[in-house]
């Protein structure tokens, strides 16, 4: 699909003359403007055609804007994924530079009127212009290439630091991009200097043209405001700080395992020393290689195929009307339960009631909710009235009779099957026959929880990840008896909560925890059998996971991890190694394997080592990595055979959203295919 570049002449106010305005438009209402070879050529031809008009005095300026709501959403990465030869990637990069340099070198003043989303190559369209305005309603501005396994390859790495300073540019190019593709809104883009003026959406184009006329007429007030707005530090110290920020972001988010961010970092370091042509050569070479890399194709699969498509059309949604949820009950008032109550109140805006065994616990839960809303007021995300309203939606009690008129009740009590069965038995005597009963269990059998109920068909697993407000995944676990309405309601509810639901069979630990605990068990086994702690814990570093196994163990909590591992061991046997060393640490109230000294260096305390026993069969880091990957391939193969989920895509989506599996690895199943491990372990690949 080609985004066309239509040129129209606009008479500017006063005596400022004629502005030739290029309007980018692909003439598709439901699809944003994107930039492929045809679109770039069309834009380049439109700019080139204005050179003779500029020289003859026919026009006084050149401008670029988009169609309603969209400036340009970047390169057409879905089509770019089909590139198979480096020379084609290089040609695409060269084309972008040639076209955007035409705009930068234009003999008259140029303007970029950013009227909507401007991402990646879309933002790079506006950067060569002399001046930029932005609509206050714009919600997505940024350079997401590092997130996508690429580099801003059409001049973005070079131009952005010169425009807004290296430190702000480091945040846009690296910190924001690698923070799950965080973007800027119009106001923030103006504040950091990407845009020179900010106007409301309703009058954006007209006000932008009036502002352009003032700039062209050397209006004193406009010129003074512009000069003040464009001040930023760009000396050597600022560049040193910016490079450090970029390096730390890349190391923290990818473990230095993703080639795209590393190439972007390499180019960014050289910007203060390079000319435009020298930067062009670096960007072109990098983009040529990266566009045909496994990592880029992996990111497109993970981001476009999974997060953008499958997450929006999940498998297994019943074709029945979901139940309307007008009142929610949360059994429990601990941290997890309080987080659940807060999210339900924030997103559903319906009454939510929590309960616990004594008033002190209930009050702590309500206080937590009030404190979280107060924090949003301090951050400017809520007004005080909005916070008070949200806090008021959540009430508490020690009497479960408060759930009598709830449409949906979820339990988040102690992870012990007897306790949960008792909770459900009590609820069934209180709630209506239509009320859906859900459990937030991470590892226990939903089937067993419902076994003694009169209506087991209304019970469903609805598993959130901690922290609830941040983690996007919800595992919806169905039993063999779960009716269609509770499943449909769970999907509808998850979407309303702005979560991504994945339907799973009711099996121990569902998807994410089953795979994470298999991974952690293999690393722990290697450690217990004599592998050096650092070797065992850092063996998975090449994968670029957000945490090492021992760090994850400490975050989850040793007792919780051990309990889930025991549940998995009971269900699946010795594939899930239950560590006696972890049990010893738990019994002696030790909460972590690693301790840190004042400098932040990791070590194991002598007192911790004394509590553990080790074998004499050490493994190398390469051996540990291979063992773990083979174990994961085996476990995924068994899960698919047992139809825990509908497709390998669901496992990939779960691991990306629930475990932080890196996008540049493309989902766990294609990675295991690419490494030849799934074929070796299971006799076939997960994907054809």
pLDDT recorded at residue 295: 84
Residues in the chain where the model's pLDDT stays below 70: none
Instruction: Name the strand (E) or helix (H) holding 188.
Output: helix 186-192
> Is the Cα torsion angle 182, 184, 188, 191 positive or negative in sign?
positive
pLDDT recorded at residue 304: 82
**Strand, helix or coil for residue 590:** coil
Among 292, 297, 296, residue whose Cα is nearest residue 88 = 292
Q: How many CB atoms lie within 10 A of CB 236?
A: 9
| Long-range CB pairs of 555-558, under 8 A, 24+ apart, other chains included | 557/591, 558/582, 558/585, 558/586, 558/590, 558/591, 558/592
Among 684, 592, 569, residue whose Cα is nearest residue 634 = 684
Residue 19 main-chain phi, psi, to 5 deg: -105, 125
The reply to whether omega before 78 is within 30° of 0 (cis) is no
Per-residue burial over 553-570, b = 16 or more CB atoms within 10 Å of its CB, e = otherwise:
bbebebeebbbbbebbbe
Angle subtended at Cα 544 by Cα 541 and Cα 548, rounded to the nearest 5 degrees: 50
* DSSP letter (8 states) at residue 13: S
| Long-range CB pairs of 442-446, under 8 A, 24+ apart, other chains included | 442/415, 442/509, 442/510, 442/513, 442/564, 443/415, 443/508, 443/509, 443/513, 443/563, 443/564, 443/567, 443/568, 444/415, 444/417, 444/420, 444/508, 444/567, 445/417, 445/506, 445/508, 446/477, 446/479, 446/506
Q: Which two tokens stand for residue 646?
A: 């509908």
pLDDT recorded at residue 185: 95
pLDDT recorded at residue 256: 74
Sequential DSSP letters for 378-447: HTTSS-HHHHHHHHHHEEEES-GGGGTT-SEEEE---S-HHHHHHHHHHHHTTS-TT-EEEE--SSS-HH
pLDDT recorded at residue 658: 94
Residue % of the chain over a pLDDT of 70? 100
Q: Are 26 and 3 in contact (CB under 8 A)?
A: yes
Q: Are 456 and 428 in contact (CB under 8 A)?
A: no
CB within 8 A of 304, min separation 6: which ones? 77, 78
Q: Which two tokens stand for residue 291?
A: 């566009």
d(CA 122, CA 608): 54
Bridge partners, residue 408, by sequence = 328, 436
Residue 502 main-chain phi, psi, to 5 deg: -130, 130
pLDDT recorded at residue 578: 97
Give pLDDT tens digits for 566-582: 999 999 999 999 999 99
pLDDT recorded at residue 662: 86
Give pLDDT tens digits for 330-352: 999 999 999 999 999 999 999 99
CA dihedral of residues 532, 535, 537, 541 (deg, nearest 10):
180
Among 442, 591, 447, residue whose Cα is nearest residue 515 = 442
Among 106, 105, 101, 123, residue whose Cα is nearest residue 114 = 123
What does the chain come to in residues? 688
d(CA 197, CA 207): 10
d(CA 253, CA 37): 32
């Amino acid at each position: 699909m080609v985004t066309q570049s239509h040129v129209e002449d606009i008479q500017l106010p006063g005596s400022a003359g004629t502005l030739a305005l290029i309007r980018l438009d692909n003439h598709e209402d439901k699809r944003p403007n994107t930039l492929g070879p045809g679109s770039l050529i069309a834009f380049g031809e439109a700019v080139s055609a204005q050179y003779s008009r500029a020289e003859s005095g026919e026009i006084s300026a050149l401008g670029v804007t988009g169609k309603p709501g969209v400036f340009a959403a970047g390169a057409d990465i879905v089509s770019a994924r089909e590139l198979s030869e480096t020379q084609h990637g290089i040609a695409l990069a060269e084309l972008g530079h040639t076209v955007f340099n035409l705009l930068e070198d234009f003999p008259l003043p140029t303007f970029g009127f950013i009227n909507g989303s401007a991402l990646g190559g879309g933002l790079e369209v506006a950067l060569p212009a002399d001046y930029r305005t932005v609509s206050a309603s714009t919600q997505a501005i940024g350079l997401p290439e590092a997130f996508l396994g690429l580099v801003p390859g059409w001049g973005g790495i070079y131009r952005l630091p010169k425009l807004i300073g290296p430190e702000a540019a480091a945040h846009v190019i690296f910190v924001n991009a690698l923070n799950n593709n965080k973007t800027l809104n119009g106001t923030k883009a103006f504040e950091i200097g990407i845009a020179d003026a900010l106007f409301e959406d309703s009058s954006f184009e007209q006000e932008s043209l009036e502002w352009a006329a003032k700039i062209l007429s050397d209006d004193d007030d406009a010129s003074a405001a512009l000069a003040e707005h464009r001040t930023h530090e760009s000396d050597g110290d600022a560049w040193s700080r910016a490079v450090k920020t970029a390096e730390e972001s890349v190391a923290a988010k990818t473990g230095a395992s993703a080639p795209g961010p590393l190439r972007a970092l390499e180019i960014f370091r050289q910007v203060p020393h390079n000319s435009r042509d020298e930067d062009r050569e670096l960007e072109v070479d990098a983009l040529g290689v990266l566009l045909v890399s496994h990592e880029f194709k992996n990111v497109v699969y993970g981001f476009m195929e999974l997060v953008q498509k499958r997450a929006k059309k999940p498998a297994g949604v019943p074709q029945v009307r979901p139940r309307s949820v007008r009142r929610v009950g949360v059994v429990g008032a601990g941290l997890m339960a309080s987080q659940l109550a807060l999210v339900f109140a924030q997103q559903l805006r319906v009454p939510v009631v929590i309960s616990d065994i004594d008033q002190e616990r209930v009050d702590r839960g309500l206080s937590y909710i009030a404190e979280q809303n107060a924090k949003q007021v301090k951050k400017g995300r809520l007004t005080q009235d909005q916070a008070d309203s949200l806090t008021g939606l959540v009430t508490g009690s020690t009497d479960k009779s408060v759930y009598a008129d709830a449409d949906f009740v979820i339990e988040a009590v102690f992870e012990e099957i007897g306790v949960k069965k008792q909770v459900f038995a009590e609820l069934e005597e209180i709630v209506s026959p239509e009320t859906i009963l859900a459990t937030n269990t991470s590892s226990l059998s939903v089937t067993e929880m419902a076994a003694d109920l009169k209506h087991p068909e209304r019970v469903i697993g609805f598993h959130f990840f901690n922290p609830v407000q941040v983690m996007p995944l919800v595992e919806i676990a169905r039993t063999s008896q779960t009716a269609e309405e509770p499943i449909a309601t769970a999907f509808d509810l998850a979407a309303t909560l702005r979560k991504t639901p994945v339907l799973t069979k009711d099996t121990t630990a569902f998807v994410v925890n089953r795979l994470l605990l298999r991974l952690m068990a293999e690393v722990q086994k290697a450690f217990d059998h004599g592998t050096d702690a650092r070797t065992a814990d850092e063996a998975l570093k090449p994968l670029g996971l957000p945490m090492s196994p021992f760090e994850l163990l400490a975050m989850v909590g040793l007792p919780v991890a051990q309990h889930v591992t025991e549940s998995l061991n009971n269900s699946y046997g010795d594939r899930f190694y239950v560590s006696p060393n972890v049990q010893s640490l738990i019994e002696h109230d030790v909460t972590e394997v690693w301790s840190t000294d004042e400098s932040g260096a990791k070590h194991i305390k002598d007192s911790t080592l004394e509590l553990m026993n080790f074998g004499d069969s050490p493994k190398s880091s390469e051996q540990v990595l291979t063992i773990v990957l083979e174990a994961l391939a085996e476990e995924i193969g068994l899960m698919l055979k047992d139809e825990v989920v509908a497709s390998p895509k669901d496992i990939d989506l779960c691991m990306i959203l629930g475990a932080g599996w890196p996008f540049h690895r493309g989902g766990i199943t294609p990675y295991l295919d690419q490494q030849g491990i799934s074929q070796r372990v299971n006799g076939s690949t997960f994907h054809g």
